Amino acid sequence: MTTKAQELSGWEYSLAPETTKIDIEQKNKLFIQGKFVSPKSRSWFSTINPATEEKLADVACAGKADVESAVTAAKKALPKWSRLSGSQRAKYLYRIARRIQERSRELAILETMDGGKPIKESRDVDLPLVAQHFFYYAGWADKMQYAFPGANIEPVGVCAQIIPWNFPLMMAAWKLAPALACGNTCILKPAETTSLTALRLAEIMQEVGLPEGVVNILTGAGETGKLLAEHKSVNKVAFTGSTAVGKSLMRSTAGTGKKLTLELGGKSANIIFADAAIDQAVEGIVSGIYFNQGHVCCAGSRLFVEEPILDEVVSKLTHRLRSLRVGNPLDKNTDLGAINSQEQLDTVERYIRNGTEEGAQLHEIHSERLPSKGYWCSPCFFTDVQPSHTIAREEIFGPVLSVMTFRTPQEAISRANNSPYGLAAGIWTNKGSKIFEVAKKLDAGVVWCNTYNKFDAASPFGGFKESGFGREGGMQGLRPYVRLQNQSRRAK
Amino acid sequence: MSRLTVPKTYKLYIGGKFPRTESGRSIAIENQKSEIVAHICHGSRKDFRNAVESAHKAFDSWSGITGYLRGQILYRMAEMLEGRKEEFAAAIQVTQPVTNAVARKEVDASVDRLVTFAGWTDKYQQVIGCANPVAGSYYNFTIPQPQGVVVAIAPQSPSLLGLITCIGAPICSGNTVVALGSEVHPITTAIFGEVCQTSDVPAGVINLLTGKNKELLEHIATHRQVAGLYVANPTKKNRTLLEEGSADSMKRVHCVAFDESDWYDNAVTASPWEIEPFVEMKTIWHPSAC
Amino acid sequence: MHTPVDTVMVEQRAKSFASRSIKTESKQQGLRLALSMIDLTTLEGKDSPEKVRALCTKAIQPWEGEIDPPLPSVAAVCVYPSLVQVAKRALEGSGVAVASVATGFPSGQYPLDVRLNDVKEAVCAGADEIDMVINRGAFLSGEFDVVAEEITQVRTVCGTAHLKIILETGELETLENVRLASELAIQAAAHSGSISDGEVFIKTSTGKVNPAATMPVTLVMLEVIREYYKETGIKIGMKPAGGIKTAKQALHYLVMVKETLGDDWLTKSLFRFGASSLTNDVLRQLVRQHTGRYTATYDFSEA
């Protein structure tokens, strides 16, 4: 039976939560010398789901004695691991990559539960990149001599690797994969709020039979990281996180001969020229600043729009913002999940207040679907922002965009470069020659032209100026994890 | 009666000019017989500041010209140095007890070193940069770009070859340099500015200071306009001081420990891996589609 | 005057619509909506009155089984001009519209007077909607005024019949051409007289050229429609045609329409699917959801 000329219209999406259940250990121990061990510190902290504020588990907090054990394990494992042939090391890394692919759904769900990022992103962005990173660097392990022509290559040694909470597993992969490929042994320190997936990675290390002590994972807070970085048997410190901590690491390692790489903050410029494909540029703005709730060091948080198209861009951006869905990160249709912690939410909210107080105009779309518990921030942007405003200068690390204008390419370049940071930049124009000229003149380690926030294991990532030094990804990503023989005479 | 000689007044080289130190200080240089043979400028914190200003001003155009042209200019420096070999050999011998042959060998190596770096200007990019095969419809490549103002602290010896190496590595990629010459053998540094000035090196690209490094180290480490350091054979104390001070503006600090023979070895001191510490790798993405 | 379009970013955005998860109630609703938007089409040399009558029966009542609430009819039946009368009679009183391709479909390679006459005859025979093809040859050789003038004249002869302008995007090849042709088609249609909401559609393809409708192409066309609405307040309709065969694909398109133009466009008066095999796949999914059992192909009548 059919109703005649029935006029259907309108449509809403139903809830689409990820339903796979994940078992979570209640007590998550440290991973040292190939085993899960209770912390000698006897100290534990709880990790919560930022979308529900519910406690997920207890996590060990590594203290001085634990750091000592882990460094000893890594040091002990070093000679054998570094002398293993490249092709053998490669196979371990390939195995890790495969196991990550096999366990990727579980890992994605856990990443989302512990960190608050939308399942869509952990599933479609983080996990594929994690696996790709291990695959990519696996292949380098027996080809190092082609990456550094003319040099004799040695691993650096014991690496302390301290990572942030915005891409927990991906940052672990960025650190571990090149280090292991080059023959180093590692102690990884995940961020306090996002330890759980790193410990699953430890399980994978066990599953693939990685020799004991090659990878050790120490959970804990900032103090654990500090102890680790300052340990005298550590030969290399790799850190991703805030510029302030990066600077203090630079001071604490000064004169020690420790090799250091830092991947720090940013206030990246996204520049839209009037001749750009504007509808696509708006997509680029959105993926530039709202990807992962804006918890992205290379977020395009300063938008520079050529004056004649300001109104058009603002109007299209406003329209686009309405289709962004904020809420339960485990819902497959969620575009923006939870802010990672109460502390970070306070920071973001403080910047938003500050922007308004300094006279900028706030544009926000309030979502009606926000749960009552959890840490939430609706995506927003400011217009009437002056380059001197705090929101135009400081890294917010949240879904908050500052919109400014420029009149000429030269002005765009100089405004973009007027920052102590230099991590990334975006350029949108239909003119090829302009792209290359502007890309050349921007102080940024990654320049996305007519795209934004693209990552790939084969593509180096890292900053200029106070955004840090050293590259992760690509052939250049090997450089921080080797000593070239010609440099072995350097001051120790 | 023998002719009275006209001794040279040794000055600093800043912004293409030869100023005396603003501090008015000088250091007496003695020859091997402990006779005072010259006075060298005892450069000050303000001279250093002025040199950084000059280097910063020169950066845009020096980094903006083609590698080919930079190569031409470096090669021209080699030509000019070759033409003044005797003068430089003599300058080396003033403070160092070496034979003329040994001194000439250092000058020859210095000329050759400039030629090596002249050749690198349009090639190192192809060795350390690359196209990246990303898994998507993008053309993606990584290219090196110079950092900006680099301060080079030359080794005590070999004074000329060491100085030229510390300058050559950063400038061949387009950085501009403020160099502190050998403290104990400063005459080569004091006259090298004349080679620079007569060989088409734009003003400010190379700035040369003589004096006491110790009083400048802290200012070098903390000057926010300085992007990188090339430090030859630092003591642990100096290295710590420089690295600590560099943290605030995140300078790239490249410390080397080369012995005398290393300085003569192109494979050690003029490889692309000695140019790489003074460039930033920039990765550019662009979609590929019709 | 080309408005630049960046293909890779369009593809990225198009892909993001396909990653929406449409389950349970929203799937049910979406599939019903999709069904109501179908232009059930037969455009073959062997088409006969009997075939068209069968299609019309299917159009009015897509499924014979019981389902609550009852399923909607499809939006229209689309045929060649010579079969318009047959369809008109078969659909009388059903609310299902008769659409006719015209203007020398699918190539359009006929003298203008022949093409205009084609339209006139279809309208006289009772077509409620005319699906015209644009002059791609003229477009690709840069004779935009010729293309526009022809569209204007076609719309004039359409009278009160609605007009769907087929760009044949597979032949235009680039998204910039798609964008330009969309802008040009809408402007040209407006030139022949004011447009009320849904009176003019732009349509991707004839179904005779590959590729036919794709999500990136449709997205670019939707963006042109959005811009025109912003400038004028007039709602132009959209019809992707060819290549949309599965219920899942149809839902992806609906997501795209919802997130690009908004809920206003989620109605058959502003959005259509030009398709034939889509109907039964939508029905299979609907019946599966309704009964909880997987169905066989022979459970659904062929038209």
What confidence tier does C302 reach under pLDDT thresholds 50, 70, 90? confident
In the predicted model, is pLDDT for residue A181 greater than 90? yes
pLDDT digits (tens, 9 = 90+) for A46-97: 999 999 999 999 999 999 999 999 999 999 999 999 999 999 999 999 999 9
Specify whether the CB–CB gap between A396 and A361 falls below 8 A.
Answer: no
DSSP A105: H
Residue C248: active-site member: no
In the predicted model, is pLDDT for residue A490 greater than 50? no
Closest residue by Cα to residue C72 from C296, C275, C267, C250 = C267
Phi and psi, residue C98, nearest 5°: -105, 125
Which residues 436-475 of chain A have a CB within 8 Å of chain B? 439-440, 444-451, 454, 456, 458-462, 464-466, 468-469, 471, 474-475
In the predicted model, is pLDDT for residue B1 greater than 90? no
Strand-strand pairing, A400-406 and A302-306: parallel
CB contact C16 to B (< 8 Å): no
The mean per-residue pLDDT over the stretch A334-338 comes to 96
In the predicted model, is pLDDT for residue C128 greater than 70? yes
- What ipTM does this complex have? 0.95
pLDDT digits (tens, 9 = 90+) for C202-253: 999 999 999 999 999 999 999 999 999 999 999 999 999 999 999 999 999 9
Helix (H, G, I), strand (E, B) or coil at C298: helix
What does the pLDDT read at residue A8?
85
In the predicted model, is pLDDT for residue A489 greater than 70? no
A contacts of C32 (beta carbons < 8 Å): 8
Report the chain A residue with the minimal C-alpha distance to residue C175: A277
Closest residue by Cα to residue B280 from B211, B203, B228 = B228
From A464's Cα to the closest Cα of chain B, the distance in A is: 7
DSSP string covering C30-76, please? HHHHHHHTEEEE---TT--HHHHHHHHHHHH-S--S--SSPEEP-SE
What does the pLDDT read at residue A103?
98
The class that CATH gives domain A269-459 is alpha beta
What confidence tier does A6 reach under pLDDT thresholds 50, 70, 90? low
In the predicted model, is pLDDT for residue C63 greater than 60? yes
CB contact A137 to B (< 8 Å): no
Helix (H, G, I), strand (E, B) or coil at B56: helix
Q: What six digits make up the tokens of B55?
A: 């280097």
Contact: C21, A5; criterion CB under 8 Å: no
B101: how many CB neighbours lie within 10 A of its CB? 8
Q: What six digits make up the tokens of A43?
A: 């100290």
A149: how many CB neighbours lie within 10 A of its CB? 11
Per domain, the residue ranges of chain B are 26-287
Specify whether the CB–CB gap between A336 and A324 falls below 8 A.
Answer: yes
The mean per-residue pLDDT over the stretch B167-196 comes to 97
Question: Long-range contacts for C55-61 (Cβ within 8 Å, ≥24 apart)?
Answer: C55/C79, C55/C87, C55/C303, C56/C87, C56/C90, C56/C91, C56/C94, C56/C96, C57/C90, C57/C303, C58/C279, C58/C301, C58/C303, C59/C91, C59/C94, C59/C96, C59/C303, C60/A2, C60/A4, C60/C91, C60/C94, C60/C96, C61/A1, C61/A2
Torsion over CA: A430, A432, A438, A440 (sign): positive
DSSP string covering C266-278, please? -STTTB-EEESTH
CB contact B135 to C (< 8 Å): no
Residue A203's alpha-carbon distances to A25, A59, A198, in angstroms, are 12, 15, 9
CB contact B285 to C (< 8 Å): no
Contact: B239, A491; criterion CB under 8 Å: yes
DSSP string covering A24-73, please? --SEE-EEETTEEE--TT--EEEEEETTTTEEEEEEE---HHHHHHHHHH
Specify whether the CB–CB gap between B29 and B36 falls below 8 A.
Answer: yes
Q: What six digits make up the tokens of A366?
A: 């309030």
pLDDT digits (tens, 9 = 90+) for B2-61: 898 888 889 999 999 999 999 999 999 998 888 898 999 999 999 999 999 999 999 999
C264: how many CB neighbours lie within 10 A of its CB? 14
Q: Considering the domain A27-264+468-480 in this protein, what is its CATH number?
A: 3.40.605.10
Burial of C194 (0-12, 13-18, 19+ CB in 10 A): exposed
Q: Taking phi first (over 0 means left), then psi (-120 to 50 degrees means alpha), and beta for anything else, what does residue A147 get? A: alpha
What confidence tier does A128 reach under pLDDT thresholds 50, 70, 90? very high
From A472's Cα to the closest Cα of chain C, the distance in A is: 25
What CA–CA distance (Å, rounded) separates A349 from A342?
A: 10
Report the chain A residue with the minimal C-alpha distance to residue C37: A8
pLDDT digits (tens, 9 = 90+) for B200-257: 999 999 999 999 999 999 999 999 999 999 999 999 999 999 999 999 999 999 999 9
What does the pLDDT read at residue B105?
98
Q: Taking phi first (over 0 means left), then psi (-120 to 50 degrees means alpha), and beta for anything else, what does residue C75 get? A: alpha
What CA–CA distance (Å, rounded) separates A415 from B46?
A: 29
What CA–CA distance (Å, rounded) separates A428 from A407?
A: 15
Q: What counts of helices (H) and strands (E) characterise chain C?
A: 12, 9
What CA–CA distance (Å, rounded) separates B120 from A348?
A: 47
In a domain, C1, yes or no: no
Query: Starting at the edge strand that comes first in sequence, how are the strands of the sheet with B206-209 ordered?
Result: B206-209, B176-180, B149-153, B226-232, B252-256
Contact: B130, A474; criterion CB under 8 Å: yes
pLDDT digits (tens, 9 = 90+) for A147-161: 998 899 999 999 999
Selecting from A255, A451, A464 the residue whose C-beta is nearest the C-beta of B236 gives: A255
The mean per-residue pLDDT over the stretch A377-386 comes to 97
- Superfamily of chain region B26-287: Aldehyde Dehydrogenase; Chain A, domain 1 (3.40.605.10)
C122-159 per-residue burial string, b: 16 or more CB within 10 A, e: under 16: bbebbbbbbbbbbbbebbeeeebeebbbbbbbbbebbe
Closest residue by Cα to residue C79 from C129, C31, C32, C34 = C129
Contact: A280, C9; criterion CB under 8 Å: yes
- How far does Cα A432 stand from its chain's mean position? 30
What CA–CA distance (Å, rounded) separates B223 from A247?
A: 15
Q: What six digits make up the tokens of B162?
A: 């060491």
CB contact A458 to C (< 8 Å): no
Selecting from B248, B271, B280 the residue whose C-beta is nearest the C-beta of A464 gives: B280
What CA–CA distance (Å, rounded) separates A44 from A38?
A: 10
Helix (H, G, I), strand (E, B) or coil at A354: helix
Contact: B290, C174; criterion CB under 8 Å: yes
Contact: C7, B138; criterion CB under 8 Å: no
Mean pLDDT of the residues in chain A: 95
What CA–CA distance (Å, rounded) separates C132 from C155?
A: 9
Residue A26's alpha-carbon distances to A47, A186, A190, B96, C298, in angstroms, are 10, 26, 18, 72, 53
What CA–CA distance (Å, rounded) separates A280 from C141?
A: 27
Q: Give the mutation candidate from C1, C8, C11, C13 for the A interface (greatest A CB count, under 10 A).
A: C13
Selecting from A151, A254, A450 the residue whose C-beta is nearest the C-beta of B243 gives: A254
pLDDT digits (tens, 9 = 90+) for B78-107: 999 999 999 999 999 999 999 999 999 999
The rounded percent of chain A whose pLDDT value lies above 70 is 97
β-sheet bridge partners, residue A482:
A155
The mean per-residue pLDDT over the stretch C175-190 comes to 98
In the predicted model, is pLDDT for residue A488 greater than 80? no
From A488's Cα to the closest Cα of chain B, the distance in A is: 9
pLDDT digits (tens, 9 = 90+) for A345-356: 999 999 999 999
B contacts of C7 (beta carbons < 8 Å): 287, 289-290
Which residues 339-368 of chain A have a CB within 8 Å of chain B? none
Residue B21's alpha-carbon distances to B42, B46, B49, B51, C205, in angstroms, are 7, 9, 12, 11, 79
Residue C280: domain span:
7-299
Specify whether the CB–CB gap between C39 and C244 falls below 8 A.
Answer: no
Helix (H, G, I), strand (E, B) or coil at A393: helix
Q: Is the peptide bond before B158 cis (omega within 30 degrees of 0)?
A: yes
Alpha helix (H) residue ranges in C125-263: 136-140, 144-158, 169-172, 175-191, 215-232, 247-260
Contact: B287, C9; criterion CB under 8 Å: yes
What CA–CA distance (Å, rounded) separates C62 from B142?
A: 57
Q: Give the mutation candidate from B231, B250, B261 for the A interface (greatest A CB count, under 10 A).
A: B250
Closest residue by Cα to residue B122 from B187, B73, B186, B87 = B73
Selecting from B140, B267, B280 the residue whose C-beta is nearest the C-beta of A445 gives: B280
In the predicted model, is pLDDT for residue A491 greater than 70? no
In the predicted model, is pLDDT for residue C1 greater than 80? no
B contacts of A444 (beta carbons < 8 Å): 282
Helix (H, G, I), strand (E, B) or coil at A389: coil
A contacts of B283 (beta carbons < 8 Å): 445-447, 459-461, 474
Catalytic hit among C39, C118, C131, C281: C131
The mean per-residue pLDDT over the stretch C23-27 comes to 94
- CATH code assigned at C224: 3.20.20.70
What CA–CA distance (Å, rounded) separates B81 from B87?
A: 9
What does the pLDDT read at residue A486?
60
